Amino acid sequence: MSSVKEQYEAYPYPERDPKDEKRRLITGSPSHPLEMDQFLWNGKRDWTKPLKALVAGGGTGDGLIQLAQVLTGARRPYQITYIDLSTASRAIAEERARMRGLKNITFLTGSLLDAPELGPFDYIDCCGVLHHLPEPQAGFDALGRALAPEGGLGFMVYAPYGRSGVYPLQDAFARLLAGLPPKQRLREGRRILANLPKNHPFAQNRVVGDHKRSDAGFYDLLLHSTDRPYRVGEVVQALDHAGLRLAGFTSPALYDPSDLTGEMPLPEDPVARMSLAEELRGTIRMHTGYAVPKPRAETVADGHDLSQVPHLKGVAAAPLAREIEKRGQIKIKTEGAQVTLKLDKAIAPLVAGMNGRTPLAQLGKRAGIDPIAMAALWYPASTALLRHGLIHYSRLLC
């Protein structure tokens, strides 16, 4: 069995070509500054103050490059420390940063367990790493100790139900291919996978696809030597042990079972409700979210405060506003299904004016809506849009 370090030296993950930085920026969750502000600082962070960040287990650099590039583009000060155990992965991340001319990044080869010695940090990115540690809780604990009191963690860990079929194959490959070098393990793994029955649980899984995209993806998904998934309750427990609490998952609607259960009574406990949703959906393959030190008060922006600045995510303001004005609803896709989101037509001019720089109060004033009516009108719409991750609040561009 190859070690985690040996794997990522042979197959840095995710597979990236630094030359591609000339034509695109890979964005996602966690660690986009707008999303960070939304979940960690009530949408009110003062971005004129330098952000001290750690990218823990940064791999080939997706989270690092996104964070540094967005802050650079917004002309906001930052200092980022990148750390990873793989020199091959680090080399790719460094070259990607060089291709973009990104500055104020310190690159280190090492373990995220050393994070407390490097901090404290305003923000820590740890995406797809903790579940690969021999003792994952030690990783959670180290990151918790490395956070500043007003800081926050953006994380992603694997979930079990959406990865059906993966773990039996990992176990079988570990026994069959023990002792082989990484390239031979990959070759034999691909050969065996091709011979599996078509009704194998993995073959029926429609939400995993890394094995089809690259050699590194195949190895990371099916040949990894250290990989444990987390259910919702286990995520919350791990964070709690580390002195942290869950601020929220980036796609709240996925963790709400009411869409599936209708009028049936549901548990009052939020963790029990989210766990029920995870079990009923059966397709969540990773948990992506944000956490903060337990002493911190509520940190998630909700649109109640009209001084907040809204940013639409993944949709353009003008066409979205036209759709709302015309139909009083929009259609979105989530987990492969189409969902109809009903919205008051009166919010159309507010949406049309969203440019990432204008506070809600000013949007309402421009639309001729008084503050009291504005609050009553906007909050239900904000709740619906936030639930599906279609809006963030942040003063990043102000």
Give residue-wise pLDDT tens across range 6-46.
999 999 999 999 999 999 999 999 999 999 999 999 999 99
| pLDDT-based confidence at residue 333 (cuts at 50, 70, 90) | confident
- 320 and 286 part of one domain: no
Of 77-91, 128-142, 322-336, 366-380, the range with the lowest mean pLDDT is: 322-336
- Residue 44: the pLDDT is 97
- 319 and 361 part of one domain: yes
| pLDDT-based confidence at residue 1 (cuts at 50, 70, 90) | very low
> Rounded CA gap, 316 and 130, in Å?
35
- 370 and 258 part of one domain: no
Q: Evaluate if residue 296 carries a pLDDT over 60.
A: yes
Q: Evaluate if residue 253 carries a pLDDT over 60.
A: yes
Angle at 27 between CA 22 and CA 28, to 5 degrees: 160
Domain termination site, one of 293, 323, 345: 293
Question: Average pLDDT, stretch 39-64?
Answer: 98
- Residue 334: the pLDDT is 75
Distances (CA, A) of 15 to 20, 53, 101, 211: 11, 24, 21, 12
- 280 and 337 part of one domain: no
Q: Evaluate if residue 364 carries a pLDDT over 70.
A: yes
> Rounded CA gap, 294 and 311, in Å?
27
Question: Average pLDDT, stretch 293-302?
Answer: 96
Question: Average pLDDT, stretch 42-70?
Answer: 98
Average pLDDT, the chain: 96
Question: Average pLDDT, stretch 119-128?
Answer: 98
Q: Evaluate if residue 273 carries a pLDDT over 90.
A: yes
Q: Is residue 98 part of a domain?
A: yes
Number of domains the chain contains: 2
Domain containing residue 328: 310-393
**Whole-prediction pTM:** 0.96
Q: Evaluate if residue 80 carries a pLDDT over 60.
A: yes
Question: Average pLDDT, stretch 75-82?
Answer: 98
pLDDT digits 0-9 by tens, 205-239:
999 999 999 999 999 999 999 999 999 999 999 99
Q: Is residue 194 part of a domain?
A: no
- Residue 337: the pLDDT is 72
- Residue 339: the pLDDT is 85
- Residue 3: the pLDDT is 85
**212 near 180, Cβ under 8 Å?**
no
Q: Which CATH number does the domain housing residue 69 bear?
A: 3.40.50.150
Look at the alpha carbons of 302, 307, 308, 309 in this order and tell me if their dihedral is positive or negative: positive
Beta-carbon contacts of 192 under 8 Å, excluding residues fewer than 6 positions away, are: 173, 176
Q: Is residue 301 part of a domain?
A: no
pLDDT > 70: what percent of the chain? 99
**311 near 391, Cβ under 8 Å?**
yes
- 147 and 278 part of one domain: yes
Domain termination site, one of 266, 293, 320: 293
